[in-house]
């Protein structure tokens, strides 16, 4: 309790305790206040014990009301028992994989992952004796035959970045469990509003909340969701690593995430409309989006995602830098930004952003050519968005 005495002490003492906010009768504000505090005052030792027993608030690295609120929300959205919320998507991913592995373990991962996730597996875990094999998770035979006796984790993204491939989550979860391995899914591109990997057999689902979940391109945060037991392991490591989401970012994300259902459905509809229009353009070599009938996992995606195929697509343009530059400059709404999932449409060039660190040979093997552009659809009017892309292509390439 913040105490204010009526007695006056010296200026340097009083300036620390005047303005006791506990005197203001603040109850039930309509919006959650931001608890920018490193610690919470404890009355006495009994109170301290009670806080330990009831998972109350003592110190920010362990718990903070803004983070607890976000934990409750993301657990609900992903339909998991519990979550941890982290300082970024990468903090969430590294906390989860480090918590579940030890030297001598093996991870089997999809090969077209988010660039930094690849680097965590190869450059960081590799240093500590955890080996990772990368295979194509849309090929179940390859997944099965790559399992080793020490395989501890199968790891994939719901929709791969940036090729927009769709792995069969239920089938991969079954393979993991038949081999006593955990199945971890990065659901950043879809979010629990469109598909809940935990319901399809994932043991943990990770999210970069920075992207679609928060949706306003103003906060960096991440989460891991799953059973109470697995989250307890992740939480223990999080407290030691200090990978927690700070109060202000947690607050921003809990605000943004309230409208997730409206936003991600509109984004998915816009992506589908744009994919269908671009598919017909004479200037576009290829469009990758699961709504298209020629997408290799279209049928699976139809059943796994129940009609919404996500807000991400990628397109292949002729490998002519000048024309690509002109096309990008011609666009009115979609702008280049090294993020995705925000309410405005953004573009990125994977060869020079997410996969810049990946050796060229390997990058080409993943299908990330020098003509590939990734598009993250916003919530603009569908016709405005499609027309803008068509006009920009026409001006650059005709
Ligand atoms: C952005 C992203 C991450 C990393 O999230 P940060 O919040 O930037 O740390 C991980 N996975 C995917 C699929 C992403 O798009």
115 and 130 co-located in one domain:
yes
Residues 185 and 280 in one domain: no
- Can you give the residue range of the structural domain that contains 347? 260-397
If asked whether residues 66 and 162 sit together in one domain, one would say yes
**Looking at the domain assignment, is residue 51 inside a domain?**
yes
Residue 33 included in any domain: no
Find out whether the beta carbon of 156 lies less than 6 Å from any atom of ligand 1: no
CB 158 within 8 A of CB 202: no
CATH classification at residue 363: 3.90.1150.10
Q: Which atom of ligand 1 is nearest to the CA of 221?
A: 7
Strand order of the β-sheet with 312-316 is: 286-288, 312-316, 372-376, 346-348, 335-336
Cβ of residue 290 lying under 6 Å from some atom of ligand 1:
no
Q: How far is the CA of 90 from the centre of ligand 1 (A)?
A: 6
Confidence of residue 112 (pLDDT cuts 50, 70, 90): confident
Judge whether 12 lies within some domain: no
* Atom 11 of ligand 1: nearest residue by CA position: 114
Q: Ligand 1 center to residue 113 CA distance, Å?
A: 10
Of residues 292 and 4, which shows the higher confidence score? 292
How large is the average pLDDT for residues 256-283? 97
Considering the domain architecture, whether residues 139 and 250 belong to the same structural domain is answered as yes
Q: Is residue 244 located within the same domain as residue 264? A: no
The reply to whether ligand 1 has any atom less than 6 angstroms from the CB of 341 is no
- Ligand 1 pocket check for 187: Cβ under 6 Å: no
Mean pLDDT to the nearest integer, 341-365? 89
Which atom of ligand 1 lies at the shortest distance from residue 220's CA? 7
Residue 24 has pLDDT above 90, yes or no: no
How many separate domains does the chain show? Answer: 2
pLDDT over 60 (residue 46): yes
pLDDT level of residue 326 (50, 70, 90 thresholds)? very high
| Closest alpha carbon to 34 in 286, 251, 309 | 251
Is residue 6 very low, low, confident or very high in pLDDT (cuts 50, 70, 90)? low
Instruction: Kindly report the CATH number assigned to the domain that includes residue 68.
Output: 3.40.640.10
In a domain, residue 114? The reply is yes
Stretch 80-85: mean pLDDT: 98
Residue nearest to atom 7 of ligand 1 (CA): 89
Domain identity same for 104 and 126: yes
Average pLDDT, the chain: 94
Q: Is 312 helix (H, G, I), strand (E, B) or coil?
A: strand
For ligand 1, mutation pick of 116, 157, 189, 208 (most atoms within 8 Å of CB)? 208
User: Taking 80 as the threshold, does the pLDDT of residue 391 lie above it?
Assistant: yes
Q: Judge whether 119 lies within some domain.
A: yes
| Residues 228, 95 within the same domain | yes
Instruction: Based on the fold, state whether residues 237 and 334 are members of the same structural domain.
Output: no
Percent of the chain scored above 90 by pLDDT? 85
Split at pLDDT 50, 70, 90, the class of 311 is very high
> Is there a single domain that holds both residue 228 and residue 285?
no
Q: Is 252 found in the same domain as 110?
A: yes
The residue out of 257, 272, 294 marking a domain boundary is 257
- Å from CA of 112 to ligand 1 middle: 13
Q: What is the pLDDT of residues 205-249, one digit of tens each?
A: 999 999 999 999 999 999 999 999 999 999 999 999 999 999 999
Q: Is residue 4, in this structure, part of any structural domain at all?
A: no
Q: What is the mean pLDDT of residues 275-301?
A: 97
Instruction: Calculate the CA 146 to chain-centre distance.
Output: 26
From 86, 93, 210, mutation site for ligand 1 pocket: most ligand atoms within 8 A of C-beta: 210
Does the C-beta of 87 come closer than 6 Å to ligand 1?
A: no
* 93 and 168 assigned to the same domain: yes
For atom 6 of ligand 1, the residue with the nearest CA is 89
- Is 2 a member of any domain? no
Consecutive H or E run containing 4: none
Same domain, 143 and 235: yes
In angstroms, what is the span from residue 286 Cα to ligand 1's centroid? 25
Please identify, among 238, 257, 276, the residue that sits at the C-terminal boundary of a domain. Answer: 257
Tell me which of 230, 257, 284 is where a domain ends: 257
The verdict on residue 334 lying in a domain is yes
Nearest CA to ligand 1 atom 1: 208
């Amino acid at each position: 309790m913040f105490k204010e005495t009526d007695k006056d002490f010296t200026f340097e003492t009083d300036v620390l305790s005047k303005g006791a906010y506990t005197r203001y009768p603040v109850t039930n504000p309509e919006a959650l206040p931001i608890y920018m505090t490193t610690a919470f005052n404890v009355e006495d030792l009994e109170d301290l014990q009670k806080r330990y027993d009831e998972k109350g608030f003592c110190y920010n690295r362990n718990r903070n009301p803004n983070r607890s609120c976000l934990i409750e929300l993301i657990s609900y959205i992903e339909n998991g028992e519990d979550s941890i919320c982290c300082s970024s998507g990468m903090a969430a991913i590294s906390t989860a994989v480090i918590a579940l592995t030890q030297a001598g373990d093996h991870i089997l991962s999809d090969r077209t992952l988010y660039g930094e996730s690849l680097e965590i597996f190869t450059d960081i875990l590799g240093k500590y004796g955890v080996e990772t094999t990368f295979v194509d998770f849309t090929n179940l035979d390859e997944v099965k035959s790559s399992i080793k006796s020490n395989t501890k984790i199968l790891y994939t993204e719901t929709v791969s970045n940036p090729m927009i491939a769709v792995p069969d989550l239920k089938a991969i979860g079954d393979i993991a469990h038949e081999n006593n391995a955990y199945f971890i899914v990065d659901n950043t591109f879809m979010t629990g509003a469109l598909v809940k990997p935990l319901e399809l057999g994932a043991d943990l689902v990770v999210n970069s909340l920075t992207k679609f979940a928060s949706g306003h391109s103003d906060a960096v945060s991440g989460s891991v969701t799953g059973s109470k037991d697995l989250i307890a392991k992740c939480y223990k490591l999080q407290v030691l690593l200090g990978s927690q989401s700070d109060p202000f970012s947690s607050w921003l994300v809990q605000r943004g995430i309230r409208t997730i259902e409206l936003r991600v459905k509109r984004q998915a509809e816009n992506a589908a409309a744009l994919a269908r229009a671009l598919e017909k353009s004479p200037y576009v070599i290829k469009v990758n989006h699961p709504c298209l009938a020629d997408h290799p996992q279209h049928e699976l995606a139809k059943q796994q995602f129940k009609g919404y195929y996500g807000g991400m697509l990628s397109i292949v343009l002729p490998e002519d830098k000048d024309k690509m530059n002109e096309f990008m400059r011609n666009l009115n709404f979609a702008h280049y930004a090294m993020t995705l999932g925000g309410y405005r449409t953004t573009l990125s060039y994977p060869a020079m952003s997410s996969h810049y660190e990946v050796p060229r040979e390997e990058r080409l093997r993943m299908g990330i050519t020098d003509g590939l552009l990734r598009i993250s659809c916003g919530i603009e009017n569908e016709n405005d968005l499609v027309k803008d892309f068509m006009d920009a292509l026409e001006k650059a390439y005709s």
